[in-house]
Chains A and B, each alone.
Chain A
Amino acid sequence: MSRNKTAKSNGGANGAVRARPELERRGISASPGIVIGTAFVRNGDRVSVPRNTIDGADVDVEIQRFARALSDTVRELRALKHDIATRMGEDHARIFDAHLLILADVTLMDDTSAVIRADRLNAAAAFEKVMNRFIATIGSIEDAYLKERTIDIQDVKKRVLRTLLGVATTISARPTEPSVVVAHDLSPSDTAQFDRGTVVAYATDLGGRTSHTAIIARSQGIPAVLGLENLVEHVETGDTVIVDGNAGVVIVNPRPATIEQYRQEIDRVRALEEQLLLLTAYPAQTLDGRQFALCANLDAANEVDSVIDHGGQGVGLFRTEYYFISQDYLPGEEEQYKVYRQVVEKMGDKPVVIRTLDVGGDKIASYLHRVPELNPFMGWRGIRFCLTRKDIFKTQLRAIYRASAHGRVKIMFPMISQIEEILRAKEICAEVRDELARDRYKFDESVPLGIMVETPSAVALADQFAREVEFFSIGTNDLIQYTMAVDRGNSKIAHLYQHLHPSIVRLLRLIATAAHRNRVHLSVCGEMAGDLLAVPILVGLGIDEFSVSPNVIPEVKRAIRSMTFDECRSLVRRVSRLRTTAEIEAEIEAFVKAHTPVSTASGGTRS
């Protein structure tokens, strides 16, 4: 994967062209992997629209200019559509149909001309005003099904403005050889234009783990670092760029020593991967014979092949919200059923834990959350959302239950903090089962129900919850955030977010005890499950299942196979007496060093 075109004159003789200094930027790790490549900068996303008052005599000229810009844009878009249809198939080109219809809309011409005439505004400003009015109207529709993502309209607005303002049209520009695409932001129509294989990584100023680009990158298996703020201003096409999707770091114009360091890291990871894939056929079992289920987390149905390739024994967490977020509108029962069924069938007799919609927090589907919340992580998310939007919840549950006819499905509820919530969710599941039975659908009547344990309240009441459900899955990311009161996206305090903080270890023990006493299956599906330093602790706590990103499965398996359950149990007892994260980590590091073959310990996914 490593593309390296470092022929750039780094050592450029005579100092005639001074190499620009190395620049390291930290962003959001949106898709894992490391790539050294050449930048392809796609700019022109940000169009600043000048606002001029025009002379009365120029009104007609301005209107003609606008008409010409519209027809130029139509021509350009038709060419683009044709190009994409021939290169990538009609399906990919369909995205432009709505754009063309918008461009052909008579009201664009009529309304914009009227504004130019009445307000004596230049065409660009007048057009922007007209489009913003539509965007505001359509964006504020309350019906969840109707409320569009206005992204298509925004897209058209940008295209026409670029044509009007003569901003270098980069829309049809795309890399012709494998490149790291650097942009301010990428819309679905942007990413649809790129040939598979010409993009080796993404680095964008906007976006996060849930944005369109992140989902595309993960499904294509290429690294992405997003949320880089203003990276695009510091990169030129042709620059050498390192994208480290594991650490969420981008390095522009790396020094030869940095390149060498990353090249070694790429080689090390590749060698390790090859070696680890050999383990696929072996069980995740300790030296003294305790077996663990090693499952995978899934964001999109098309990632399921990767689960199987990496030897996953099931899907421990299917985050259905990404599917919802990537749609323009609320998907209906049939559509959802098809998606769930696809995953369930592919996994065959292996279990698939489907988590019900966990929107809210940082995962926003614009058609569902209309009013921004002041404190979204403490807000209307997960089960709280679903219980107030019973219509959406029931549709999803019907689709999941129907998919259960095709394999082994489990249903998990997110963000549970009160007993009433699980009781109510179970009631609604019973309603759904009754209705499906009445409608003569086939489904598994005993689909196991479980909860995410990710709020301190759920931990405190773990013994009560354990009597109500068949499994727990510990969502360590949120549990740590809520316990430590730390937003790890905030760089000032991110260091306080620690997997192995004594308080977290203590909470994990509480959960494990409650689960074991009540014979509740216990899984850990947060990032901690893939943290090689945390693995011996989780083994020692006697959890039943790890659920991690597919590509981490082999490493976790190798770690488990190198230790004994007995030793891990006494390790847990030892660290439980320690008072700081540093002490706990030192204790585990010594343990890992003594048990694990060289070099594995540094290859985890610690954040």
Chain B
Amino acid sequence: MTALLRAEGVAKAFGGVQALQDCTVEVEQGTIAGLIGPNGSGKTTLFNIMTGYERVDSGDVYLGDKKITNRPPQRVFALGIGRTFQLTRIFPRLTVLENMLIAAQHGGGRARNPLAKAGGNAERRRAIELLEFTGIADHAAALADTLSYGQRKLLELSYVLVADPAIVLLDEPAGGVNPSLIQHLAGRIRELNEAGKTFLIVEHNMDFVMSLCGHVTVLDYGTVVASGTPAIIRSDPRVLDAYLGITEEDDDASPG
């Protein structure tokens, strides 16, 4: 079976820093995959390359059979890769509903009348449904600026889902979010996955990753040091080494 999303032998340097080298990561259709690694190991850089925000030095990115290396972000998004950012990027001076309608515009081609009211009834209904699903529909008319940090994460996930991407890349969805909201988020991701949505998640919260992901890839210094099921990753000495710098018999590899 071919992977839905595959980065193959990707290398990227920022000046003298080799952020990624010969990095190959695959995400199978219909799975929740995890991407972990210490700070600076290249996780976000890989996300940026997969979504067109950075260009590769060498290597390729494929969506299904289609080569999407170095396509600009809007093309990548239109092809079906949605993403959220580590530092949540919402549109603070638009309402929550307006935030949802931005991504809703990419479908339908250019024939649409640009002066038509933003968001037809169907688009609005769909946006409200998604906000209900993520649990922030009560705030639909509020400025996005007024949302809490966790609600912003939910909004970003919601507006990415509006375009119904084939795969969603989440960059630290649980970072800085309170525990009950993390549980809520995990539940939503699992529910979406059961409905067929594929996920790739970068996250430092090990409980979150290990409970949610069927397959976990570990990056260190820009290369893949381990890859497998959570059970395998937990006990892999190379993972402990990557996180702790020394190999120890601790069975809990939580980051410092």
Is A bound to B?
Answer: no
A-to-B contact residues, CB < 8 Å: none
